[in-house]
Structure 1
Amino acid sequence: MTGDWLGGNRGQLAAERILDAAGRVFLRRGVAAADMADIAAEAGCSRATLYRYFDNRQALRIAYMHREARRVATQVLAEVADHPTPSAQLTGAVLAAVRIVRETPVLAAWFVPEGSGATAGLAGASDVIASLCGTFLPADAAAAGKARWLVRVVVSLLSMPGRDADDERAMVEAFVTPVLLDAPAIPVTTDPEVETSRR
């Protein structure tokens, strides 16, 4: 716990190192079970040092969630940049965000049944996450409310998945994209040819 642990670019470097350690603990122990002592030990610092950067466990969880949400949003933006229409971009963004979280073990750990309620509460109350979701929506008078609703849609799909990827795409195309873009709803169908023609 001595030496140059906090040397150099103290603030940002130390906070990033702590968040990296937190991610490893979340993955190993689960988000709900991870405590500040575990995270300090993983980071190789004292608990006093940890509390210098994060007031409590909730603050640390929020910081971790915000950092990872920014990373996911950057990946999603790159993935949907060449989609030809706003509708395709929004549908693609929702489905890409869900897929990326599921494919990232430490992020998927936030949506296990015993912790998904707390995760939903943190995400739903986050102005940062709502703002990131807002980048996929048109700017209008209802943009802030739509962005918050989009957060809830993504969290809902992560907490209660559809039957398969086609089922989730159909739900997003029928009940999410048209509402958020004020466009006509696409009827839900189970016809594989129709599903293919939408993509």
Structure 2
Amino acid sequence: MSLSGLILKLAGWKVDITQPDYPKSIVCVAPHTSNWDFVLCKFAYAAAGRKAGFLMKESWFFFPLGIVLRAIGGIPVPRRNKKEKTSLVSAIVERFNHSHRLTIAITPEGTRSRTAQWHSGFLRIAMEARIPILLGAIDYPTRHMYITDTFHPTGDIEADMREIKRYYSRFTGLYKDKFCTDNDA
């Protein structure tokens, strides 16, 4: 058992990863209601012998923390305007197109606060890069983390997002009032 797996086991967490270790993929992770989600997910993925980069708001990439975050796969996300977010999607698609092996974890909520407006960039990246999306879920009441389903986007962003939100609606974050899968909440 790896050190990551041992730490999770001692903390009472179980990890269920049944999906293939695709050479290229996005791991969509929800619910995201706490900074602990990041730590738990990094440990869970490492316990399975896998590595994934991750997107994180650029304000976390200050010195010296930024050096550590980049070293473990962090990609800073600008929080300024729509044009920069569009160019981020293009840059990540390019990164996938020029990599033999790459997995990036993305939290579609884009925040730890309650929001029904999930970001669709991960769907656009997967479509343009022609890669699968692994659905990674954290369920605090049962202390379980899952990657048991793969989603292949259809190109219909709204329908795909409804389907993904439906999948995640059965899971509960650390702060359950901060997680929303309803489109009108």
When the two structures are superposed, what TM-score results if normalisation uses the length of structure 2? 0.31
Question: Bigger radius of gyration, 1 or 2?
Answer: 1
More helix by share: 1
More strand by share: 2
Q: Which has the higher contact order (CA 8 A, sep 6+)?
A: 2
